[in-house]
Amino acid sequence: MKQKTKNYLILGFLLFGITLLLFNCTFEDEVSQPKKIDFRNVKTVSFEEAVAHFNSKKIKIKNRQLGYARKGESPLELTPNWQTLKHNEIAYTDAKLTTAITDVNRDGNYESELYFININGIIRNVIFTIFKDKTDEKGNIVNARVFFNDLDGQFLDGYIIENGIFTKRYKLEITKNEQKASFFPFFIFQSTGDNDFSDFGTWCVPNGGELPGFSITVSTSNLTASGPDDGGGSVEGAGHSASYNWYYANGYGEGTYSSYINGATGNTLPAGGGGGTVLTSGQVTSATAAILLAMPIEPDEDGKCPEGYVLNPTTGKCDPICSGGKIYNTSTKNCECPKGLKDDGNGNCIDKSITNCESLKRLLQNDSIGSDILPTVNELRTKLAAKDNEWSINYRSSWVGGNRKNIPDMNGIQKGISRTRSEFYYGTSWVGQIHTHPINTYPIFSWLDLRALMLIYSGTHNDFKNEVFLMVVAPNNITFVIKVDNIEELIKNIENDIKNSKGKNDNEKIDFIMERMERDYRKSTNIKQTFLDLFGKYGISLYESIDANLNDWNKLELNVTDNQKINETPCN
């Protein structure tokens, strides 16, 4: 009986051990980058900090025998050449990437460097390895493969460069016991750089242990430049500015991840498959730094996340606890807006550095930061006939020549589907829309326009909220703009209107709202007064251009003592 119990205990420990082993070998679903990349708290790592950080990590890895290796290989060992430490200019941020060439105890035709950068107070330190498959006569890179590994050799990310463009991303698919395939991390420093990962099963255990029962397939996914509004045509180069220091990695309308990486090289993406160029080592560094900035934070050797981050059990990565552009302050233990930004009352940090009037003027400017909208407005003015539908054009924030500016949608002016409806886009980089109200429609904004403004404002990145606008171009050179002053107030009023309206569903409720609004517009002898009477307290400001060239604007408000009168405050 005693022996039986003992056997059960041994079996129990064994099963527990195997479970732990399997658990450690099956971390995450996919190596992915966060949707939002915030550059506001990216800082340079000094040489001293870099050396100290690396040495501290090295000791931890050695003590815990965490260096991953194939069976029979010695644990991964890095020997940095600290004489090569340097700071590199990179895209999107004023911070510099600290690098040092390092030897790795693996054979192969590759070059490795240690990368260091400080993000939100945390030093990111990875091994960057490049296999230069084809270079031109000057040594510039034509084709190459690049890999990112953690200091213990754990695979983090990998890309293929073709004709000077980051075209593909490595994707590792590991099948466990012929069950449903899923994604797991790849733990090995890939010294050969080839695609032969067939004996991965023998690599999964630190220090060359063995774990049978796994097979691995390696594939690549395209970093496409397609999509309804891909940055391929609009990301016109790497750059950064003090006021617009972020980029979105993927998703509609934000510029794709491909645009983000290739934008950091300064090489424009080939449109329609054309193009073809080379990359200098500086351009590669800039692009790979962009990749590093986009990488999620990994838990440390103890499996813990840094302060201000929390372990995401699904991804196995560390997610920031702060949102809305806030950064965790380790001293106060609070999420706070970065310097120069303010909480908009909705938990989002927004840039209040420019006024509504300044942002209106910027739309007219034809300089490096202006949008030069007058020619577009003039073109829209030719589409106001009685039989014309609405026409519209959407604007988004984008990098152009190293500056952030609001540029028109690459599809230009679009014909709306009816005389009362045109397209507007919303999403992280969309900041506004201009549309016509043709003859025989009301020359001012409708309730639906207010809701559109709310959606654009709510959808755009915090740094762009000051830029958000909706413009109506109407006959007789009438041009109005609405801007958001208080998004909470706008949301509250829109929601209350729907809540208090009559109808079986939102569709019918909104129809009733529009009917009631239209009745007042129909009876109105002063449409501006009527608009302000209905919507003036919706957390928005109404502006009207004084002249056809849109040089001067008046802010329109109802007179406090006589709401039949309008106060006009010049923007100057």
Binding site for another protein (CB under 8 A): 228-229, 252-253, 386-387, 389, 394, 417-421, 423-427, 430, 440-442, 448, 451, 455, 459, 502-508, 510-512, 514-523, 534
CB 423 → another protein: shortest distance, Å? 3
- Nearer Cβ to another protein (99/392): 392
422: number of CA atoms within 13 Å, CB side? Answer: 26
With the C-alpha atoms ordered 302, 307, 312, 317, is the resulting torsion angle positive or negative? negative
**Cα torsion for 308, 153, 301, 41, to the nearest 10°?**
-20
Residue 68 per-residue DSSP state? B
CB of 442 to another protein, least distance (A): 6
The conformation of residue 238, written as its DSSP 8-state character, comes to: -
Instruction: Pick between residue 397 and residue 554 the one whose CB is nearest to another protein.
Output: 397
Residue 546 and residue 553 in contact, taking contact as beta carbons nearer than 8 Å = yes
Q: Hey, what are 184's tokens?
A: 């797991």
Between 134 and 421, whose beta carbon lies closer to another protein? 421
Amino acid at 53: H
Distance CA 198, CA 179 (A): 17
Euclidean distance between CA atoms 368 and 358, whole angstroms: 15
Residue with tokens 């029962």: 213
Whether residue 165 contacts residue 262, with contact meaning beta carbons closer than 8 Å, is answered with: yes
Nearest to 395 by CA among 407, 378, 413: 407
Separation between Cα atoms, residue 415 and residue 410, nearest integer Å: 14
**Cβ–Cβ < 8 Å for 215, 200:** yes
Rounded distance between C-alpha atoms, residue 319 and residue 301, angstroms: 17
CA pair distance 408, 564, nearest whole angstrom:
37
Closest CB to another protein among 150 and 229?
Answer: 229
- Vertex 489: Cα angle to 484 and 494 (nearest 5): 95
Interacting residues of 187 by C-beta distance below 8 A, sequence separation 6+ = 68, 153, 154, 155, 203, 204
Contact between 187 and 147 (Cβ < 8 Å): no
Decide: helix, strand or coil at residue 455: helix
In this structure, which amino acid lies at residue 137?
Answer: E
